[in-house]
Amino acid sequence: MPKTPRSGPEAEDAALVFMPSGLRGRFPRGTALLAAARSLGVDIDSVCGGRGICGRCQVTVGDGDFAKLGIRSAPEHLHPLAANEIRFDARKGLQPGTRLSCSARLAGDVVIDVPAASQIHRQIMRKRTDARAIQVDPVVRPLYVDFEGIAGPDPADNLRAALQAQWGVEAILSGAAAAQLTGVEENLTVALREEKTVTAIWPGFREHLVGLSVDIGSTTLAAQLSNLGSGAILAEAGMMNPQIRFGEDVMSRVSYIMMNPGSEIELGEVIRRAVRDLAGQCAEQAGLERRDIVEITVVGNPIMHHIFLGLDAVPLGQAPFPLAEDGPLTIPAADLDLDLNPGAQVHVLPCIAGHVGADTSAVILSEAPQLSDEVVLLVDIGTNAEIVLGNRDRLLACSSPTGPAFEGAQISSGQRAAAGAIERVRIDPISLAPRFKVIGSDLWSDAPGFASSVAGIGVTGICGSGVIEALAEMFLCGLITVDGLVDPGKAALTPRLVRDGKTYCYLLHAGPPEIRIIQLDIRNIQLAKAAAYAGARLLMNKMGIEKVGKIVLTGAFGSYMDPKYAMILGLIPDCPLEQVSAAGNAAGTGARIALLNREARLEIAAVARGVEKIETALDPDFQDQFVGAMAFPHKSHPFPNLGKIVALPVPGNTGPGGRRGRRGRNQA
Ligand code: FES
C-alpha cells in the first residue's frame, strides 16, 4: 500500500528530505533548514554563519506530491521569508522557490533540493568524459565573524573568541594574520586554513577566496587562478620560461650553475619573479590584486622544482640524480618573495625520482591510473618523456631522454609550435606531392585561398607535430624505409625528392623559406621516438605485460600530436586507437586539483611514495629496447591494432610509392 501523503499542517513535527543526497529526518516545526541539514550530515555551504549575507546556503523547495517519498511538499510548508531573506532578496535577488536555508524554517513536510552551487563538496566535471571529476574541498575557506558582545582588550583574543562562539572553531592566528588586525573592526572575514589557522583577514564580508596553481615547465610556465569556493577558473596566464637565457633545456641550466657558482640564486629569483608576474597577470584579469591570493600550488620537473625552492639542483645533473627533497612541501609564499597575501602558503607536490618530478605527480593526480582496473600508460613528452605505467595494483615510472627534436629543435626547418609552423602534413601516395596546414590558418595548402590566409604569418617552419606527420606519411608512401633511410629509388618518381649531399631530402615547401625533411631530421626523430618507446616498453617488461589498456598523451606536444601518426612512427606502443587520448596540460590540471582539494594532497603524497622508480640510464633492457625501437614503427614488435586502420609498408618492399605489398589490414 502506498503511503498516504502527509501534509504539513496536520503533522506534529515535519518530515524533511534533502535532494539529491536523499538524507531525511523529522524535526520540530520552526527548525532552520541549515541546522537540520547539518544534523543530517548534508553539506550546505555558508560563509556568513547564517546571517543572511553570503547567499551560499540557497536551496529550493519542492512543490507537489512526492509519492515515492510519501511527502507532499509545498513552498508554504516553510515559514514566510525571514527578515534576512527579504534583505538579501532586495540586495541580490532570490529566485522564486529559492530560500536561504540558514533563515528558512520548517512549517510542514518538505523536499529540499540542494543545488551544486550550494554544496560544500561540489564536483566539477571535466570536459573529457573519461577524466576524473574534481571535488571542491580546499584547504582554506572563508569565515565571516562579527564582534557583537565581544569587547576584550586584545584584538587577537577577540577574534579567537568570535570564531569559537560563532563557528565552533578553536583557531590560532598566524603572525601575518595577526598583523592585519587593527582592533577597531566590527566584523571581518578570515581565511581559515586546515580548519585551525587563520592566515588572512579582510575587513567586512568577503564571499570568495582565490588561489593559484602553477606548472613550471622548462620551456613555458602556465598558471590558473581559481575561485576556491566554486572551483571556477577566473583567469589563466602563461609565459616562456625566462631561464631559457641560461640554457635551452634543464641539463644545460644545471651545467650553467656548475660553471657559474652562485648563479643558482639568480636562476631561482628569475623563476620566482616569473611566478609572481603570472600571479599579477591572473589577478588583474580577474579584477583582483595579487594580495587576494591566499594559496598556491606549484608543480615542475625536479630541476625546476629545486631551483624554484632554492634547493641545490646540481646533483640532479648526474647519476644517481639524488633529490634534495622529494616529499610534499608547504611553505609561506613570503619566504619565496611571491608577494601574494602576506599569509599565503605555497604547496609543492612531491617529486617521485631524480628525473620524475612534481609535474609527473600532478599528471598522476589528474589522470588517476592508481584508481584504474586496466593498465594505463601516461606519456608526457618534452625534452624528456616522463612515463608512468600501471593501475590500482602497481605503478611504475621512468624518464627517457627524448631530446628537443619534438619541440622543433635539431630539425633543419624546425621551430616551436607558433603561427606559421607546419603542423599537419599529408602526402599523396601516387603523386608523392605534399599538402599541409600551418598554425594560424584553417586551410590546407592546396585549398583555394590558402596563400591569402597565411599572408600575414607566412609559412615559417615545421613544428614537432608536423615533423611526426611528415615522417609518418613519407613512411606510408615508401619514401623512407622501416630503418628510416630516404629511399633514393623514389627520386625518379617525384621531383620532391632532391639530392642533399650523399643522400636525399624531401621538399615539403618550396618557400621561401624552403622547408625540407632531411636525413638527419629523420635520424633525430628516430632517436627521440625510440627513447620514448623504449621507456614505455621497459616499464611494460617490468610489469610483465605485452599490451596496455589505454594510453594518455599529456603535455602541449602530446595534445597537438595526432595519436595515429605517433603510433605509425612507433613513438607509443600498439593499442586500439580509440583507447589513445590527449589530456592537454595534465600537470597543470593536477596542480589545480591539489589547489581545490585538500585530500588530493594526501592522496598524491601516498601514491608518489609507492611508485616504483625505474632508472633508464642504468637498465640494460632499455638499450635493447632502444635499438629495436629505431625502426618504423618497430623492428620486431607487431602493431596489430595499427594494422587494422593503416596499411603499413612491408619491410624490404620497394614498390612505387610504397603502395604495393603493404602489410594490409588483415596482414599486420
Ligand atoms: S549562510 Fe550565509 S546567507 Fe545563509
Per-residue pLDDT tens for 524-572?
A: 999 999 999 999 999 999 999 999 999 999 987 777 888 999 999 999 9
> What confidence score (pLDDT) does residue 660 get?
38
Task: Return the ligand 1 atom nearest residue 55 CA.
Answer: 3
Task: Return the ligand 1 atom nearest residue 44 CA.
Answer: 1
| Band of pLDDT at residue 651, cut at 50, 70 and 90 | low
- Angle subtended by helix axes 263-285 and 302-309, to nearest 10: 90
Whole-number Å distance, alpha carbon 106 to ligand 1 midpoint, is: 17
Distance between CA atoms of residues 644 and 642, nearest Å: 5
Phi–psi pair at 81, nearest 5 degrees: -50, 130
Is the C-beta atom of 55 inside 6 A of ligand 1? Answer: yes
| Band of pLDDT at residue 289, cut at 50, 70 and 90 | very high
Which pLDDT tens digit goes with each residue over 380-390? 987 788 999 99
- Residue recorded with cell 606559421: 420
- Does residue 653 contact residue 478 with C-beta atoms inside 8 Å? yes
Cell of 193: 586554513
Which pLDDT tens digit goes with each residue over 4-15? 444 444 447 898
Whole-number Å distance, alpha carbon 526 to ligand 1 midpoint, is: 61
Phi–psi pair at 608, nearest 5 degrees: -60, -35
Whole-number Å distance, alpha carbon 126 to ligand 1 midpoint, is: 28
Distance between CA atoms of residues 215 and 221, nearest Å: 6
Q: Which of 42, 89, 100 to mutate to test the pocket of ligand 1 (most atoms within 8 A of CB)?
A: 100
Q: Under 8 Å CB-to-CB from 562, ≥6 apart: which residues?
A: 424, 465, 468, 469
> What confidence score (pLDDT) does residue 368 get?
94
Is it the case that residue 1 has pLDDT exceeding 70? no
- Does residue 308 contact residue 216 with C-beta atoms inside 8 Å? yes
Cell of 189: 572575514
Whole-number Å distance, alpha carbon 56 to ligand 1 midpoint, is: 6
Peptide bond into 513 cis (omega under 30): yes
Question: Distance from first CA to last CA of the chain, Å, rounded?
Answer: 64
Q: Which of 33, 42, 45, 54 to mutate to test the pocket of ligand 1 (most atoms within 8 A of CB)?
A: 54
> What confidence score (pLDDT) does residue 333 get?
97
> Three-class SS of residue 182?
coil
Task: Return the ligand 1 atom nearest residue 57 CA.
Answer: 4
Is the C-beta atom of 52 inside 6 A of ligand 1? Answer: yes
> What confidence score (pLDDT) does residue 173 get?
95
Task: Return the ligand 1 atom nearest residue 84 CA.
Answer: 3
Q: Which of 38, 42, 43, 57 to mutate to test the pocket of ligand 1 (most atoms within 8 A of CB)?
A: 57
- Angle subtended by helix axes 598-610 and 586-596, to nearest 10: 130
Is the C-beta atom of 56 inside 6 A of ligand 1? Answer: yes
Whole-number Å distance, alpha carbon 114 to ligand 1 midpoint, is: 14
Task: Return the ligand 1 atom nearest residue 46 CA.
Answer: 1
Task: Return the ligand 1 atom nearest residue 102 CA.
Answer: 4
Distance between CA atoms of residues 229 and 413, nearest Å: 48
Which pLDDT tens digit goes with each residue over 214-223? 999 888 899 9
Q: Which of 96-99's residues contact partners 24+ apart within 8 Å by CB, and which partners? A: 97/60, 97/61, 97/63, 98/58, 98/59, 98/60, 99/33, 99/58, 99/59, 99/60, 99/61
Q: What percent of the chain has pLDDT over 70?
A: 95
Q: Which residues of 509-539 are buried (b: 16+ CB within 10 A; e: fewer)?
A: beeeeebbbbbebbebbbbbbbbbbbbbbbb
Is the C-beta atom of 57 inside 6 A of ligand 1? Answer: yes
Distance between CA atoms of residues 274 and 220, nearest Å: 10
Whole-number Å distance, alpha carbon 188 to ligand 1 midpoint, is: 15
Which pLDDT tens digit goes with each residue over 231-251? 999 999 999 888 887 777 788
8-state DSSP, 4: P
> What confidence score (pLDDT) does residue 402 get?
84
> Three-class SS of residue 346?
strand
Task: Return the ligand 1 atom nearest residue 48 CA.
Answer: 2
> What confidence score (pLDDT) does residue 655 get?
47
Q: What is the mean pLDDT of residues 72-95?
A: 93
Among 21-35, 69-83, 112-126, 141-155, which stretch is predicted with the lowest mean pLDDT? 112-126
Q: Are strands 345-348 and 293-300 parallel, antiparallel or unpaired?
A: parallel
> What confidence score (pLDDT) does residue 218 get?
85
Distance between CA atoms of residues 55 and 61, nearest Å: 16
Q: What is the mean pLDDT of residues 125-153?
A: 85
Q: Under 8 Å CB-to-CB from 120, ≥6 apart: which residues?
A: 43, 44, 45, 136, 137
| Band of pLDDT at residue 36, cut at 50, 70 and 90 | very high
Distance between CA atoms of residues 12 and 15, nearest Å: 10
Is the C-beta atom of 365 inside 6 A of ligand 1? Answer: no
Task: Return the ligand 1 atom nearest residue 58 CA.
Answer: 4
Whole-number Å distance, alpha carbon 61 to ligand 1 midpoint, is: 16
Is the C-beta atom of 50 inside 6 A of ligand 1? Answer: yes
Q: Are strands 64-66 and 13-19 parallel, antiparallel or unpaired?
A: unpaired
| Band of pLDDT at residue 632, cut at 50, 70 and 90 | very high
Cell of 346: 605555497
Q: Under 8 Å CB-to-CB from 400, ≥6 apart: which residues?
A: 384, 385, 387, 531, 532, 534, 535, 616, 622
Is the C-beta atom of 143 inside 6 A of ligand 1? Answer: no
Is it the case that residue 3 has pLDDT exceeding 60? no
> What confidence score (pLDDT) does residue 129 get?
62
8-state DSSP, 461: E
8-state DSSP, 317: G
> Three-class SS of residue 334?
helix
Whole-number Å distance, alpha carbon 207 to ligand 1 midpoint, is: 10
Could you tell me how many residues make up the chain? 668
Q: What is the mean pLDDT of residues 78-82?
A: 95
Q: What is the mean pLDDT of residues 469-478?
A: 94
> What confidence score (pLDDT) does residue 256 get?
86
Distance between CA atoms of residues 529 and 542, nearest Å: 20
Q: What is the mean pLDDT of residues 626-644?
A: 91
Distance between CA atoms of residues 654 and 487, nearest Å: 8
Distance between CA atoms of residues 290 and 426, nearest Å: 47
What is the H or E stretch that residue 236 is in? strand 233-240
Cell of 15: 518530515
Q: Which of 33, 44, 53, 85 to mutate to test the pocket of ligand 1 (most atoms within 8 A of CB)?
A: 53
Count Cβ atoms within 10 A of the Cβ of residue 70 and give its class: 0-12 exposed, 13-18 middle, 19 or more buried. middle
> What confidence score (pLDDT) does residue 648 get?
82
Is the C-beta atom of 54 inside 6 A of ligand 1? Answer: yes
What is the H or E stretch that residue 91 is in? helix 83-91
Cell of 51: 546571517
- Does residue 45 contact residue 229 with C-beta atoms inside 8 Å? yes
Whole-number Å distance, alpha carbon 84 to ligand 1 midpoint, is: 9
> What confidence score (pLDDT) does residue 464 get?
87
Is the C-beta atom of 102 inside 6 A of ligand 1? Answer: yes
> What confidence score (pLDDT) does residue 656 get?
44
Q: Whose CA is nearest to atom 3 of ligand 1?
A: 52
Q: What is the mean pLDDT of residues 286-297?
A: 97
> What confidence score (pLDDT) does residue 525 get?
92
Whole-number Å distance, alpha carbon 595 to ligand 1 midpoint, is: 24
> What confidence score (pLDDT) does residue 8 get?
44
Distance between CA atoms of residues 79 and 71, nearest Å: 18
Mean pLDDT of the chain: 89
More confident residue, 427 or 560: 427
277 CA to centre of own chain: 20
| Band of pLDDT at residue 130, cut at 50, 70 and 90 | low
Is it the case that residue 654 has pLDDT exceeding 60? no
Task: Return the ligand 1 atom nearest residue 54 CA.
Answer: 2
Cell of 340: 601574494
Whole-number Å distance, alpha carbon 487 to ligand 1 midpoint, is: 74
Whole-number Å distance, alpha carbon 180 to ligand 1 midpoint, is: 25
Is the C-beta atom of 229 inside 6 A of ligand 1? Answer: no
